[in-house]
Amino acid sequence: MYAAVESEVWLVNGEKIKVAIVGSTGYGGVELIRFLWGHPRVEITSVISASSAGSLLTEGFPHLSEIVVQTLDGVDPAEIAAKADVVFTATPSGVSGKLVPELLEAGLKVIDLSGDFRIKDGSVYETWYKHTAPENGLLEKAVYGLSEIYDKKVEGAGLISNPGCYSTATLLGLIPVLDAGWIDPASIIIDAKSGVSGAGRGTSLMTHYAEINENLKAYKVNKHQHIPEIEQTLSWVAGKPVTVTFTTHLVPMTRGIMCTTYASLLGTYTEGDLIELYRGFYKGRPFVRVREKGIWPATKEVFGSNYCDIGFAADSRTGRLTIISVIDNIVKGAAGQAIQNLNLMMGWDETTGLKLSPVYP
C-alpha cells in the first residue's frame, strides 16, 4: 500500500529496526512495550526512565515478567543513538520540547507522544501549555501524525508529533463531514469523555480511586490544551479558522474516550448518506470502522485496540448532526497510533504489530 521509502534501506532480509522508549514507566510507555513486544519488525533495545533508571522495568510492572526483562536506562541521547534507530518519547509536555532536539541531533528518528510539537504557532502553544515553545524550525519540521489523514507526510519523516487522545477521536469523527462541506464550521460543539488513565500514572487527588469511582466530573471546561490542536487541524481542513466549544469529562473507567460531537447540517443528509461518505473517506484504512445506521459505538468495543469506531444520528427535528466516535485513549490515542506512524514512516503495512482484537468484555 505504501511505497518503499528511504528508511527501508536500513533493513536487509527481515532484519529488525532497533527502537528505544523514553518514558517507559508511564502508561503510554508500557503500552508501547506491550505492542512492540509482538511487532515482527522491531526490537526494543532500550527502555528508558529518568526517574527509575537502574531498576528493572518489571519492578514497577510485574505484568511484564517473563516478557520484557530489561533494566531501565537513563536519558542520554548519545547512548540512545548508539542503541537505537528510532526513539519514542512518551515524556510530558515541556520535557519533550527540550529532549527531542537533542535526540534528532544525535541522529535518531523521533516519534513524540507529547503535545510539544503539535501546534505550529509557538505563541498559541505557549498560551495553552504554559511552556516555552520549541524553536520554529522544528515545529515546521514536525509532521502531525494523524495517521489516516496525514499518512503521506508521515512516510519517511524524521520527526512525528503524535496527536492527542481527544484530538484523535474528535478529528477522525469530524474531518470527513467538514471536508465534504456538509456542516457549518461555526457550529461545532464537542462533548468529550475520557477514562482516567488519560491523566497518566502520576498520583493526584483527582485520580485517587475513592474520589473518581462512582463519580462523573467535568474538568478544564473550554480550557483543555487539545483545543488549539483540534482547531488547527479543523482549520486546515475547512480552509478557514474554526473555533470549537469543547468540554472534557472524567468517567469512572480506566480506558476509553468518547467524543459526542454536534454540528448544524447545511443540507438534508440522512444517516445513510453519512455512513456512505465516511466509508468512502476511510476506504482501505482498517483502523476506522463506521457503524450501521442506528448503532453507536461504545468505548469497550475498542478496548485495548487501535480502532476508532464512529456512528451517527442526523436529527431532522433540529437539523443537527450528532457524531459519536470512540477510541482507546492509550492505544489509538497514544501508543497504538505512534506505532501506526512508525509503520507508515518505515513504509510498512500500517497494521504491522497492531492487529489485536479489542478485549471484550
Residues 74-103 that bind its own copies (CB under 8 A): none
Cell of residue 147, nine digits: 495517521
Task: Say which DSSP state 292 is in.
Answer: P
* Closer residue to its own copies, CB minimum distance, 71 or 141: 71
- CA neighbor of 99 nearest in space, from 85, 89, 108: 89
- Asked if 360 is part of the footprint of its own copies (rule: CB under 8 A), the reply reads yes
Residues 244-263 that bind its own copies (CB under 8 A): 244-245, 247, 249, 251-256, 258, 260, 262
Q: CA angle, corner 139, sides to 136 and 132, nearest 5? A: 65
* Closer residue to its own copies, CB minimum distance, 78 or 295: 295
Task: Say which DSSP state 196 is in.
Answer: G
- Asked if 270 is part of the footprint of its own copies (rule: CB under 8 A), the reply reads no
Residues 192-251 that bind its own copies (CB under 8 A): 193, 195-197, 201, 203-205, 207-219, 221-222, 243-245, 247, 249, 251
Q: Which of 133, 165, 172, 175 is catalytic?
A: 165
> Least distance from C-beta 327 to its own copies, angstroms?
12
End-to-end CA, the chain: 33
Residues 46-65 that bind its own copies (CB under 8 A): 61-65
- As a whole number of angstroms, the distance between CA 63 and CA 36 comes to 15
**C-alpha R_g of the chain:** 20
Helix (H, G, I), strand (E, B) or coil at 264: strand
The answer to whether the CB of 333 falls within 8 A of the CB of 169 is yes
Query: Residues 153-192 vs its own copies: string with x where CB under 8 A?
Result: ------------------------------------x-x-
What's the gap between Cα 231 and its chain centre?
A: 16
- Asked if 317 is part of the footprint of its own copies (rule: CB under 8 A), the reply reads yes
Pairing assessment for the beta strands 288-290 and 308-315 based on DSSP bridges: parallel
The answer to whether the CB of 325 falls within 8 A of the CB of 258 is yes
> Least distance from C-beta 333 to its own copies, angstroms?
14
> Least distance from C-beta 305 to its own copies, angstroms?
8
Question: How many residues comprise the chain?
Answer: 361
> Least distance from C-beta 153 to its own copies, angstroms?
25
- Asked if 289 is part of the footprint of its own copies (rule: CB under 8 A), the reply reads yes
* Closer residue to its own copies, CB minimum distance, 53 or 56: 56
> Least distance from C-beta 147 to its own copies, angstroms?
16
The answer to whether the CB of 351 falls within 8 A of the CB of 293 is no
> Least distance from C-beta 20 to its own copies, angstroms?
19
Among 155, 291, 327, 346, binds its own copies (CB under 8 A): 291
Bond into 134 cis (ω within 30): no
Helix (H, G, I), strand (E, B) or coil at 358: coil
- Asked if 324 is part of the footprint of its own copies (rule: CB under 8 A), the reply reads yes
Alpha-carbon dihedral sign for residues 351, 356, 357, 358: negative
- Asked if 345 is part of the footprint of its own copies (rule: CB under 8 A), the reply reads no
Query: Residues 28-47 vs its own copies: string with x where CB under 8 A?
Result: --x--xx--xx---------
> Least distance from C-beta 356 to its own copies, angstroms?
7
Q: Phi first, then psi: what are they for 20, rounded to 5°?
A: -120, 155
- As a whole number of angstroms, the distance between CA 92 and CA 192 comes to 22
Pairing assessment for the beta strands 42-48 and 86-89 based on DSSP bridges: unpaired
* Closer residue to its own copies, CB minimum distance, 10 or 360: 360
Q: Which stretch binds its own copies (CB under 8 A): 113-121, 160-168, 322-330, 332-340?
A: 322-330
* Closer residue to its own copies, CB minimum distance, 78 or 359: 359
Residue 165 known to be catalytic = yes
- Asked if 322 is part of the footprint of its own copies (rule: CB under 8 A), the reply reads yes
Helix (H, G, I), strand (E, B) or coil at 148: helix
The catalytic residues are: 165
